Chains A and B, each alone.
Chain A
Amino acid sequence: MNGLDPRIQDALARLPDYLGSHVLVSVSALALGLAVSLPLAILSIRRPFLRNSLLAFSSTVQTIPGLALLALFYPLLLGLSALTGKMFGIGFSALGFLPAVLALALYSMLPVVRNTVTGILGIDPAVNEAALGVGMTRRQSLTMVELPLALPVIMAGIRTSAVWVIGTATLATPVGQTSLGNYIFTGLQTQNWIFVLFGCVAAAVLALAVDQLLALVERGVSARKRGLIWAGVTGLVLIVAAALWPSYVRPQATYIIGAKTFTEQYILEALIEERLQAVGLASRRRDGLGSTIIFDALKAGDIDVYVDYSGTLWSTQMKRTETKPREEVLAELKDWLAARRIEMLGALGFENAYALAMSRAKADALGIRSIADLARVAPRLSIAGDYEFFARPEWKALVDAYGLSFREQRLIQPEFMYQAAVAGEVDVISAYTSEGRIAQYDLLVLDDPKRAIPPYDAILLLAPGRASDEKFVDALKPLIGAIEVKLMREANLRANGKGGDSSPEAIARWMWSEIEKARK
């Protein structure tokens, strides 16, 4: 393995974990989906109303984008969990496995339902008549004639469904279910194209293998060749067993570290993991989590620790619209969190604020220094923001404070935003102040004289109950106040590089050595 690219080595090292989780969630979802949709489809054959409703329902589910469907299940389950918690005193984890399995099971329904219905209704009526004529009951006709004859069509539906589920399971990453999608999401965020490709290829190979094995089973059943059935079933069992084996032998992690969906978060997650490992604490990562999902997950104890930003919680969780100085925001936030049993261990020392930025040359040409200047010419300019920016209170605060109105508003993947600004594809972007590329591309961060955007101190949050875990807290304390914005920018910039030292783990090790140097 020495000759391999370090990124491929890294990808291979993660394969057992990602593949195992992917197989587990896909198989569970398929099993659940089949257990629901097959009996329902069979039941609906002679009930046109049920049949049409079922087909309409499963088709409608299919029109919901996979990512949205998965994300919708999280708040739904969270509410349900709170309800059962209140009523029976038992809650359950609304993060990860459960929402992923439920959403994917729903997603798997259409091909199975449609093919079962089509397969059975498509049988020659003369054969049905013969089944009744020789003295079969409806049930015997179904099991001895209709189902066996429709089997190839039903199996084709199951195969389609298996391929869909395995493919869509890559989208389970943002709701906290580890899957092969972790390669894709991490890779997109850190511009590690090898990871992206690796994730896609691994999911495709898995889907194809399962499809072919199911085809083997199908051929065995219709040609009545036991050998083929056994070969197919054995193959499937082997895939599941091989994928699940590592999670049995691996020690159970005690601490779960969360991370949102951008580079800085992956680096800090690796840094936290490095600190925990240094004191011998086992941990596992749940990265690529959505911004509000991650907070709810911490509150529910599904993750133990993650880094958030004071301004984000100030506006999205505390629903505050006014802006206050850094220290006041932090103090009020700490109390507010404590009331929810969440421990704010402290600020890491840098801010990652939203800011508006543009290329220095363009700003000079237009005579822009601050957002107030920008407001005058904004109607002629275009702005690009990350996926949540224009829906966030900060944007509303900016618009209210400065009366901003742009010619065009676009959504763009954060990693491509900076290049877009330099290339002149957009005039203004929603930058992050800790982003290394601001300096790299010589972008100008516009002043905010009316202080419409709240401060965004990076803060370390611990799940309820974890604050009394001394070993855990002691391992993390050295990070408090230890990361200056310069260090974070440099770290973020390194992540854009290529080669082995651009992995979050390598950068985390480098950051720790820098932190230690500074302490001496």
Chain B
Amino acid sequence: MTRAPIIELNDVSKAYGDARALERVTLSVGEGEFLAIVGPSGSGKTTLLRLINRLAEPTSGQVLVEHQDVRLADPPALRRRIGYVFQGIGLFPHLTVAENIAITPRLIGWSKERRAARADELLQLVRLDPAHYRDRFPAELSGGERQRVGVARALAAEPKIVLMDEPFGALDALNRDAIGRDYRALHVSLGLTTVMITHDLTEAVLLADRVMVVHEGHIIEEGTPQQLMTAPKAAYVRELIETPRRQAARLGALLKGGAP
């Protein structure tokens, strides 16, 4: 399956002083694709994501979004057309749920009525009752509810691209699964292109179309979830898939009712 590339990184390196976060990374994300980038902390995966919307600038190499070099784009304007779900959610504590969701539409000058309607629409989309939630403040919400609002905010200005930085990391297993599946459904129905950062391989293979493993600033493995689970090449990846495979085998045995 080939798709037209919408995000491209060509030979991109990024160093912070002497510390090299990324080294000569090249990748391309097709339109409508759901790409998961997996790696341990410090692997450079968050830097990779931040390069796409210019929250970080590459030391060398080129980043293209919708065929345009991002260095030619005004950073705020670029970010307004890319949805972003933050690690630790990043809701504004002094704004209500509806105001948080409608923040980017406000920045691009939507009318108040249109913003309110959009906030309600998105609350429904992430399965929160607008009447109950729109005027609440983030501090009054549970972790799962906050993350749903975070997803709604990323989608508010109708972006084609959504970047997600460990979006479900802080949630309990049930919420994590439910919100993950809900988001995957939105990704398909809205025709989004999604790049998701996670350290959890299971989450990556369950949600994404393609998975990329980053280790010490390099992409060490790339493929569909099935390729990765059945024929991993890198030693680190084999190690990484060992746990979920064992768990799956155990669960499968339990479901069949047999003894381990």
Chain A contact residues, CB within 8 Å of chain B: 126-127, 129-137, 140, 144-145, 148-149, 222
Contact = CB atoms under 8 A, between A and B. Distances in A.
A124 to B, nearest CB: 8
A72 to B, nearest CB: 42
Task: Classify chain B: how many residues form its interface, as a range.
Answer: 20 to 34
B92 A133 contact: no
27 contacts: A126-B87, A126-B88, A126-B90, A127-B92, A129-B55, A129-B90, A130-B86, A130-B91, A132-B75, A133-B53, A133-B90, A134-B79, A134-B80, A134-B103, A134-B104, A135-B76, A135-B78, A135-B107, A135-B108, A135-B157, A136-B76, A140-B76, A144-B103, A145-B92, A148-B94, A149-B93, A222-B94
A130 B153 CA distance: 11
B157 to A, nearest CB: 8
A126 B170 CA distance: 15
A140 B94 CA distance: 15
Contacts of B93: 127, 149
B194 to A, nearest CB: 16
A140 B53 contact: no
A130 B76 contact: no
B137 to A, nearest CB: 10
Nearest to B103: A134
B84 interface: yes
B77 interface: yes
Contacts of A132: 55, 75-76, 79
Interface in B75-122: 75-80, 84, 86-88, 90-94, 103-104, 107-108
Interface of B: 53, 55, 75-80, 84, 86-88, 90-94, 103-104, 107-108, 153, 157
A496 B55 CA distance: 75
A50 to B, nearest CB: 24
B107 A130 contact: no
Contacts of B94: 145, 148-149, 222
Given A135-B104, A136-B107, A140-B107, A130 B79 contact: no
Given A134-B103, A134-B104, A137-B76, 17 more contacts: A126-B90, A127-B90, A130-B86, A131-B92, A132-B75, A132-B79, A133-B79, A133-B84, A134-B84, A135-B76, A135-B80, A135-B107, A135-B108, A136-B107, A145-B92, A149-B94, A222-B94
A488 to B, nearest CB: 67
Given A127-B93, A145-B92, A133 B107 contact: no
Contacts of A136: 76, 107
Given A135-B77, A135-B79, A137-B76, A130 B90 contact: yes
Contacts of A137: 76
A149 B93 CA distance: 8
Contacts of B55: 129, 132-133
A134 B153 contact: yes
Contacts of A133: 53, 55, 79, 84, 86, 90
A229 to B, nearest CB: 15
A255 to B, nearest CB: 56
Contacts of A149: 92-94
Nearest to A131: B92
A133 B84 CA distance: 7
Q: Tell me which of A126, A129, A133, A140 has the highest count of chain B C-beta atoms within 10 A of its own C-beta.
A: A133
A134 B107 contact: yes
Nearest to B106: A144
Contacts of B108: 135
Contacts of A135: 76-80, 104, 107-108, 157
Nearest to B87: A126
Contacts of B86: 126, 129-130, 133
Contacts of B80: 134-135
Nearest to B86: A130
Nearest to B94: A148
Contacts of A222: 94
Contacts of B92: 127, 130-131, 145, 149
Contacts of A140: 76, 107
A137 B54 CA distance: 13
Contacts of A126: 86-88, 90
Contacts of B104: 134-135
B104 to A, nearest CB: 5
A144 B153 CA distance: 16
B64 to A, nearest CB: 19
